[in-house]
Amino acid sequence: MSNRVGNFFLGQSISLSIACTSIFTQYLANRNVYLSFTQSCGTYILLAFFLLSRCFGKKEVGFKTAWWKYLIVSIIDATANCLIVKAYEYTTILSIMLCDAMCIPATVVISLIFLHSKFSLRHYLAVLLCLIGLAVMIIHDAKNSSGTHRVIGDLMALSSAVLYAVSNVCQEVLVKHNDWKEFLGMLGLGGTVFSLLFIVLFERNSLIAVPWDGVSVALLAGYVVCLFAMYVITAVFMEKNDAVVFNMHLLTSDVIASVLTFFLFDDPPTLVYFIALAITIVGVVVYNWELPENDLSKRGDFWNSVICSDYEAAGGKPGNSGQDGLTRNWVSLS
C-alpha cells in the first residue's frame, strides 16, 4: 500500500512538473520567444552534474553501458524536447498536452516488440480509445484553424510523443539495470553536446533577437528547473515501474494544464477538448484495470544487444578489464 501511495505521489509530481514546463513555454511563446534547443540545454547541463557525483563519490572506473549508446538516447530525447517546444509556434498548449498522450500507444508497441510485454484484448482496446481521443482533437484543430498551422503543431507534438516513448522505454531498462545517476549524467552530457551544436547552427539569430529582460530570464529558468525536476523524479520512478505506467500517470498533467490555462491565460478549454480528454482518460482506466506482464529476462536478442548491459554476467562488476560488456555485443552487430 505504501509503495502504491509513494508511486502515486511520484507520478503526480512528474505530471505537475510537466504541466509547469508547458506553462512556462506558453508564456515564452506569448513573448515571441521560441528557443527549442536553448530551453532544453540548460536542463541537460544540470543533469550532466550527476556525473560528478559518480566520478568523485565512487571508486568504480568506467560505465556499465557504453557512452555512445547513452549518446543515441540523449539525441532522441533532445529531439523530442525540441519538437514539443517548436509545436508552440503553431498550435495551442491544450492540443499539445493532449497529443503528448500518444506516448501511451507508442510505448505499448515498443514494449510489445522489445520487452515482450503480454497485453490482453483490454489493453489494445485502451490504446484504441487513446488514439480516438487524439484523433478527435486533431480533426477539430484541422477544421477550426486557418491554413494547416495547427495541424503542423499537432503533428510535431505527436512526433515528439513517439520519440519520448522510445526514450522512456530505454530509460526504463537502463535505470533498472544500471545506476540512475549514471543515466541522468550521461543523458545530460550527450544532450548538452547535441543542443549546443544545434544552437550554434540554427538558433544564433533567435538568441540575439530575444528581449533578455528579467521576465524572459525568469521564465527560461523556471522551465529549466521544472524539466530538471521531472527528469530526476522520473529516474527514481522508473526504478520500480515501467514506461507504460509512467505515461499513464502523466495524463493528469493534461487536467492540470487545462486548469492553469483557464486561470493564467483566460483561455477556457472547448467542449471538444473535454470530450477528447474524457475518451483518453477512459482508455487509461481500462488499461490500468489489469496491467501487462513485463518479463525483462525474455527480451529479444536485439534489445539485449542494443540496450542492456551484461555486466551481471561478468560477475556483477561493471567495467571488467576496462571494457563495457556491451561493447562486445555491439561490435558483433556491426
Mean pLDDT of each 10-residue bin along the chain, 334 residues long: 72 89 93 91 94 66 76 94 92 84 83 77 82 79 68 91 91 81 92 94 89 93 96 87 70 78 81 82 73 53 49 41 34 32
Tell me whether residue 311 is in a domain.
yes
List Cα–Cα distances, 2 to 191, 236, 288, in angstroms: 35, 16, 18
* Alpha-carbon gap, residue 108 to 110, rounded angstroms: 6
Tell me whether residue 18 is in a domain.
no
Tell me whether residue 5 is in a domain.
no
Q: Answer left, alpha or beta for residue 63, where phi above 0 means left and psi between -120 and 50 means alpha.
A: beta
Total structural domains within the chain: 1
Range of the domain at 263: 33-333
Tell me whether residue 54 is in a domain.
yes
Q: What is the pLDDT of residue 111?
A: 80
Tell me whether residue 246 is in a domain.
yes
Helix axes 252-265, 271-288, angle to 10 degrees: 160
Backbone torsions φ then ψ of 293, nearest 5 degrees = -100, 125
Tell me whether residue 123 is in a domain.
yes
Tell me whether residue 296 is in a domain.
yes
Q: What is the pLDDT of residue 83?
A: 94
Tell me whether residue 269 is in a domain.
yes
* Alpha-carbon gap, residue 15 to 19, rounded angstroms: 6
* Alpha-carbon gap, residue 223 to 22, rounded angstroms: 8
List Cα–Cα distances, 234 to 15, 108, 126, 130, 310, in angstroms: 10, 18, 23, 22, 24
Q: What is the pLDDT of residue 69?
A: 84
Q: What is the pLDDT of residue 268?
A: 78
